């Protein structure tokens, strides 16, 4: 539904009474305002979901320190916060009145007001679409990948919070090609932030840019790859997130290179993934070269990624966990 269709919301429910629960996906302003209207209209339970460090994103978008922003007078702060961002005061107040908060990674609990029940819910991928795939040779030829090239695939956008790490990925590809190790980056996604500088050809000449694709085509992009890379490092952005593409990466049966952050902290290095403490361009390039030249390591990482996906990333397990959390939180008096 559109936000403007609030008045018709009750018609979606068999008893005509509207929802018992509204679960706000992030406390960002446009979601907060609508969710509060639902709670006021239907007197339902309120839950909030955190999938990122909202304060790190706010600082990145506005290019100002969060403590400085939080100390601003209300009128000045209000003028800076767009509907697509979380308001430091209103978002915190919003969560403080929630019956529960779901978090996508454990570190996000630090952002939740004291005494609010929380539960960590890991995402998964649609196993009807994402499962171990053989390398798609005919598709590699169709998109113009050179026969002797090692292929790295990445599916995701570039924005103000991740442009540094995406630049490192493109730099790693350029370094390897310069050293005589042919490698091609196949990327799906859009650029919402400049990250390669005014002269982009040095990076784009070794990449195939597919742009925004329908979701069901992402599997085919990943199946083109020899290795999958999630760039980034342990910091205020990555420690508090769970990149949504990782379950898809792990399901395909390829070696995955990750920072030793967020989900990487739960993995075994050189078994489930190849974990990097300082994933700059040179380090990423070195990891790609090692994995590509060691068939035994390649096979171990390919099998380990699928093993981790099957054992730890399950929609059915997450659904049961979510259902139990709803039941437990709703057994207590309504906070709102």
> CB-hemisphere CA count at 13 Å for 142?
8
The pLDDT profile of the chain, 336 residues, written as one tens digit per residue, is 888 999 999 999 999 999 999 999 999 999 999 999 999 999 999 999 999 999 999 998 999 999 999 999 999 999 999 999 999 999 999 999 999 999 999 999 999 999 999 999 999 999 999 999 898 888 888 899 998 999 999 999 998 888 999 999 999 999 999 999 999 999 999 988 888 876 677 778 899 999 999 999 999 999 999 999 999 999 888 999 999 899 999 999 999 999 999 999 999 999 999 999 988 999 999 999 999 999 999 999 999 999 999 999 999 999 999 999 999 999 988 875
- Other Cβ atoms less than 10 A from the Cβ of 197: the count is 9
Question: pLDDT (tens digit, 9 = 90+) per residue, 178-217?
Answer: 999 999 999 999 988 888 876 677 778 899 999 999 999 9
Question: pLDDT (tens digit, 9 = 90+) per residue, 129-143?
Answer: 999 989 888 888 889
Domains of the chain by range and CATH?
3-124+315-330 (no CATH), 137-312 (3.40.50.2000)
Q: Which residues of 111-149 are buried (b: 16+ CB within 10 A; e: fewer)?
A: bbeeebbbbbbbbbbeeeebeebeebeeebeeeebeeeb
Give long-range contacts, CB 8 A cutoff, 24+ apart: 61-70.
61/85, 61/160, 61/161
pTM reported for the whole predicted model: 0.85
What local confidence, expressed as pLDDT, does residue 201 receive?
74
What local confidence, expressed as pLDDT, does residue 141 receive?
87
113 and 130 in contact (C-beta within 8 Å)? Answer: no
Query: Exposed, middle or buried: residue 292 (CB in 10 Å: 0-12, 13-18, 19+)?
Result: middle
134 and 80 in contact (C-beta within 8 Å)? Answer: no
End-to-end CA distance of the chain: 24
DSSP class of residue 140?
H
């Amino acid at each position: 539904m559109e936000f403007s269709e609030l008045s018709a919301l009750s018609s979606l429910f068999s008893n005509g009474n509207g929802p018992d629960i509204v679960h706000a996906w992030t406390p960002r302003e446009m979601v907060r305002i609508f969710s509060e209207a639902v709670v006021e209209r239907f007197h339902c339970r309120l839950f909030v979901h955190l999938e990122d460090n909202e304060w790190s994103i706010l600082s990145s978008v506005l290019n100002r320190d969060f403590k400085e922003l939080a100390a601003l007078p209300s009128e000045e702060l209000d003028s800076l916060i767009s509907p697509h961002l979380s308001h430091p005061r209103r978002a915190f107040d919003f969560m403080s009145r929630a019956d529960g908060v779901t978090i996508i990674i454990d570190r996000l609990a630090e952002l939740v007001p004291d005494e609010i029940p929380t539960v960590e819910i890991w995402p998964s991928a649609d196993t009807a679409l994402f499962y171990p795939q053989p390398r798609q040779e005919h598709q590699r030829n169709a998109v113009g990948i050179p026969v002797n090239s090692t292929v790295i695939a990445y599916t995701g956008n570039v924005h103000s919070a991740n442009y540094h790490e995406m630049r490192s990925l493109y730099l790693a590809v350029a370094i390897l090609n310069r050293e005589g190790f042919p490698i091609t980056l196949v990327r799906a996604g859009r650029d919402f932030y400049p990250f390669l500088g005014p002269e982009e050809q040095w990076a784009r000449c070794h990449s195939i840019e597919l742009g925004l694709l329908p979701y069901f085509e992402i599997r085919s992009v990943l199946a083109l790859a020899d290795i999958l890379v999630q760039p980034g490092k342990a910091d205020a952005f990555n420690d508090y997130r769970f990149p949504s593409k990782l379950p898809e990466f792990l399901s395909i049966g390829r070696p995955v290179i990750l920072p030793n952050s967020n989900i990487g902290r739960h993995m075994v290095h050189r078994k489930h993934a190849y974990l990097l403490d300082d994933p700059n361009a040179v380090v990423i390039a070195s990891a790609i070269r090692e994995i590509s030249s060691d068939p035994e390591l390649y096979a171990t990482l390919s099998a380990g990624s699928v093993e981790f996906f099957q054992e730890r990333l399950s929609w059915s397990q997450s659904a049961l966990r979510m259902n139990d959390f709803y039941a437990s939180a709703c057994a207590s008096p309504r906070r709102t």
